Chain A
């Protein structure tokens, strides 16, 4: 695996909240064309890790590199514009807007032009076409005109991904995209993630172990803010420490 394939790298990332160590020296690399799953029990530090990688929370120590650049000091919006997309565990869509406008507004981040006050946002072709494209890829082209708040839970999760895609990111950080989904919706989402793999580096935080082992190319297991195992899913699965700490408890 060539080093140039690494789109996002976290190096020795630590985060302390007062006396509590949420993350302790976590390193990982995301490569284009690969799904890197991070699993761990509640409180293992998965969400903190995503928040630090995306720039929402500053690390106490360590470094984040995006496309070969040190972005540790960059605020979240700048990282997002540089190609880092994330979805949230809870739905963070704009419920009063249509599905299309949710995607279009996300895509607008790439062509903001806030000074062009005389131009209608709807006339922005770049964001409109990116929005159509993202909605189509996420399987929402039938729902473009619907109010986002009225979608089913599964469709809202798809919209989360579509909004992510609309910003045309290189790296996707997905925080529990399968949470609360039924079997059929899970299948649809996994198929979607499989199609996204080719063009992106994907970090997947997920509790659904069946899904994780089906789609992940790499696996990192965290316990109490520390990585206890990392590598090919099959190798990680047979790791005794992982079985004792996590998988065995299921």
Chain B
């Protein structure tokens, strides 16, 4: 763009390298690691959905788990008891249900701003939480099991872990690529403008409410996709999937990774999972490992305090420390956020 100093090639190369690595992993990694990576990729999809709102549009949604949970419950509730459901209709139904709830929540909550928006999105998520928690609909606190995992004819059987890994990786790549395209389009630039200065956007002729609602519904749909994958992976859902703990965790992931960059969501999801595994490891911490959340919390506080731009800001930080150079902030923001 117009001679601005930036290095899209390095960033693109990094992202491609990550995906190639993920594609090669099944050939080397063991079952446990593969399971962990699969789960983390699902969280990465979930984190990308929130990054679209928080990092790209400036909307701090604190109820993203509701859409995740709806996608997950849909996968279980709509699957036949003894038969495999077809992906062909089950996946669109789950994503659609999450998007529909996002449309309702967004239409109302986007009339508020700032801390009120945070609280209203939390309230709507808690409503959904209590529906599955306290009504017979969702099996209550015990959760419900998915007996037979969905298939796509005889082509794809999601019950097979290798197949499921590939489908999850393909979903992550599609969501990442789709959002990268979206953010460099006119729609994406309008979202960036709304984040920077919504008043000015309205004054120049953008009806910002429609833009924000479209972003909110899209984010809900992506979260629903992540929830669907999560339910199919474990074959089990419980109300925690809609709880505010999960909404907070995914928010921490994108902050940890670095807001305003899609790869921040990717990095954040993996960093969060690694930190969690590290502090949960009894081999390292012995009996103290059961207090893993303390170590996780402290390390996240340290990261946020020391790395204000998140993990994606580490290379720039090192350059500044080592060479004393500081790039204009413009190149951080203008690349469409990849």
Interface size on A, residues (CB 8 A): 48
Contact B203 A108 (CB under 8 A): no
Q: Does B174 lie at the interface of the complex (its beta carbon under 8 Å from any beta carbon of A)?
A: no
A6 CB to nearest chain B CB (Å): 22
Closest to B203 in A: A86
Besides A80-B204, A121-B184, 4 other CB < 8 A contacts?
A: A94-B196, A98-B330, A109-B206, A117-B178
Q: Does A17 lie at the interface of the complex (its beta carbon under 8 Å from any beta carbon of B)?
A: no
Contact B334 A101 (CB under 8 A): yes
Docked complex Cα distance between A24 and B19 (Å): 64
Contact B330 A147 (CB under 8 A): yes
A67 CB to nearest chain B CB (Å): 15
Q: Does B7 lie at the interface of the complex (its beta carbon under 8 Å from any beta carbon of A)?
A: no
Contact B186 A77 (CB under 8 A): no
Residues 121-174 of A at the B interface (beta carbon under 8 Å): 121-122, 124, 127, 144-145, 147, 149-150, 163, 166-167
Docked complex Cα distance between A124 and B214 (Å): 21
Contact B187 A94 (CB under 8 A): no
Contacts of A122 in B (CB 8 A): 1, 184
Q: Chain B: residues with CB nearer than 8 A to chain A?
A: 1-4, 178, 181-182, 184-190, 192-193, 196-197, 199-200, 202-208, 210-211, 214, 328-330, 332-334
Contact A105 B189 (CB under 8 A): yes
Contact B188 A121 (CB under 8 A): yes
Question: Which of A88, A93, A116 touches B185 (beta carbons < 8 Å)?
Answer: A116
Q: Does A78 lie at the interface of the complex (its beta carbon under 8 Å from any beta carbon of B)?
A: yes
Q: Which 4 A-B pairs have the closest CB atoms?
A: A109-B205, A80-B205, A147-B330, A94-B196
0/1 string, A57-101, CB within 8 A of B gives 1: 000000000000000000111101100011010001111111011
B7 CB to nearest chain A CB (Å): 16
Asked whether A112 and B204 contact (CB < 8 A) given A105-B193, A118-B181, the answer is no
A90 CB to nearest chain B CB (Å): 10
A103 CB to nearest chain B CB (Å): 10
Contact A81 B185 (CB under 8 A): no
Contact B334 A98 (CB under 8 A): yes
Closest to A127 in B: B186
Docked complex Cα distance between A108 and B332 (Å): 22
* A-B residue pairs in contact (CB < 8 Å), sample of 14: A76-B202, A80-B205, A85-B204, A97-B192, A101-B189, A101-B334, A108-B189, A109-B205, A116-B187, A117-B178, A117-B181, A147-B329, A147-B330, A166-B204
Contact B204 A106 (CB under 8 A): yes
Q: Does A208 lie at the interface of the complex (its beta carbon under 8 Å from any beta carbon of B)?
A: no
Contacts of A96 in B (CB 8 A): 196, 329-330, 332-334
B267 CB to nearest chain A CB (Å): 21
Contacts of B333 in A (CB 8 A): 96-97
Contacts of B205 in A (CB 8 A): 77-78, 80-81, 109-110, 167
Docked complex Cα distance between A109 and B208 (Å): 11
